[in-house]
Structure 1
Amino acid sequence: MTDPQAETIHHILTTYRTVAVVGFSDRDRRKAAFYAPAYLKGHGYTILPINPRLTTGLNRPAYPTLADAPGPIDVALIYAAGERVGPLVDEAIAAGAKAVWLPIGVVDEAAAARARAAGLLVVMDRCMMVEHKHLDVV
């Protein structure tokens, strides 16, 4: 069976380089909101940590919101769930992101539809780090 997100995933991972990580956390380095961005940084991506409680993350300035981050933002990688996802996707749209990535276990079809209608690429229920490891062109 063909993965309907495969082409989008490949395009995002091979074309876009600046990733704003909404919900970045350095409190527990065993959590995906830390180790996935750290992995991506180690593979040449520019990481913009987004967390109002931090001033830095991965040796870079952290920003309270997507609107505060310097542009352009290629990908908004959103570590949130439930009713918090939709408003954060709307922030990504307003910030001019080119893509929204929701990690494993996070699906919001309504927010994804809004993002696609605004011209953004959308990936849901996937780990950006794991998908990068599966690339043939790493």
Structure 2
Amino acid sequence: MSVDLEKILRETRTVAIVGVSADPSRPSHDVWRYLRNASDYELYLVNPTVGEIDGAPVYPSLADLPVVPDLVDVFRRHEHLPEVLAETIAVGAKTLWLQQGLWHEQVARDGAAAGLRVVMDRCLKVDHARLIGPRG
């Protein structure tokens, strides 16, 4: 399953970061900070256990977002990925992006069958910096 990462990144306008952490030492927080500072994406943070991060609201689920995100960037454990896929399909997002270290063949197959572009085991920050660059 081949996807054009640069095309995805250039077409994306809204990103939901699922599993974002308020802890600045966590990778999800680092990716959010990078995207906030280096991209033009509208960012939406999702984590049912956090109310806000640096003044930005954090939503309990994808269904609670005020918009349909183009891309859902996932920082959740492997066993939660099917649930995140179901939520991603339900809200009508276009791309499911599983962060570096996350790989789930069944989620990829089911996501593709539902019309999603699925990216696995890639860091959104790294690929954005490499292919688009700050405010590119």
Structure 2 length-normalised TM: 0.90
1:43-82 to 2 correspondence within 5 Å? 43-82=39-78
For residues 132 and 25 of structure 2, what CA distance do their matches in structure 1 show?
26
Tell me how far 1:40 sits from its aligned partner.
0.9
Work out whether residues 23 and 80 of structure 1, in 8 Å CA contact, stay in contact via their aligned partners in 2. Answer: yes
Tell me how far 1:82 sits from its aligned partner.
1.9
| Structure 1: unaligned runs, 5 residues or longer | none
* 1:100–1:72 Cα change, 3 Å: same
Tell me how far 1:136 sits from its aligned partner.
5.3
1:1-138 to 2 correspondence within 5 Å? 4-5=2-3, 7=4, 9-27=5-23, 29-42=24-37, 43-135=39-131, 138=136
Work out whether residues 103 and 124 of structure 1, in 8 Å CA contact, stay in contact via their aligned partners in 2. Answer: yes
For residues 91 and 136 of structure 1, what CA distance do their matches in structure 2 show?
28
Could you say what secondary structure the match of 2:16 adopts? Answer: strand
Work out whether residues 38 and 58 of structure 1, in 8 Å CA contact, stay in contact via their aligned partners in 2. Answer: no
Structure 1 length-normalised TM: 0.89
Identity %: 36
Give the count of matched residue pairs: 133
CA-based RMSD of the aligned residues comes to 1.6
User: How far does the alpha carbon of each residue in 1:82-133 deviate from its partner, in whole angstroms, 9 at most, with x for none?
Assistant: 2111111111111111100001110011011111111111100000000011
Tell me how far 1:57 sits from its aligned partner.
2.5
Q: Which amino acid aligns with 1:36?
A: V
Tell me how far 1:38 sits from its aligned partner.
1.2
